[in-house]
Amino acid sequence: MAADRLHAMSSTPGLPRESSNHRPGEPLRSWTSREPIAPTDAELIIQASKSLSSLHRLIYGDPLTDKDLIAFGRLNSNCVLRWYEPIVSLVGEPRIDPEVVALLKSSVPGLDS
């Protein structure tokens, strides 16, 4: 009975469906693709990962702590869960693409200064 209701709900026309995180061969979405939803997604992903202060320190060249690195890991994990490229490269020293920095500064409150 419950399975019948679930099937009926999933096949109801007009309801938006969240896409799968399993997309063989499809690349992660780029933050610099100029998708209109990207700035909002960035803000929500940063909030969910509780990484705003860590990102601020990285962008403005302040010293980073181990807690910041953990926050970047949470941030990147949240990015991939929503099918975006990770924001912070953690290969070597943490860094962010300058175009992504520009997007974040212009769209995420608290990163503009």
Burial zone of 65 (CB within 10 Å; 0-12 exposed, 13-18 middle, 19+ buried) = exposed
Give the model's pLDDT for residue 25: 74
Average pLDDT over every residue of 49-55: 98
Q: Tell me the pTM.
A: 0.77
Q: Considering Cα of 81, then 51, then 60, then 93, what sign does the dihedral take?
A: negative
Average pLDDT over every residue of 15-32: 69
Residue 47 structure tokens: 């909030």
**How does DSSP classify residue 35?**
-
The amino acid sitting at 36 is: P
Q: Where are the domains of the chain?
A: 44-113
Give the model's pLDDT for residue 93: 95
| Residue 52: pLDDT band with limits 50, 70, 90 | very high
What are the tens digits of pLDDT across the range 10-19?
455 554 444 4
In this predicted model, which residue has the larger pLDDT, 14 or 112?
Answer: 112
Residue 19 structure tokens: 């896409």
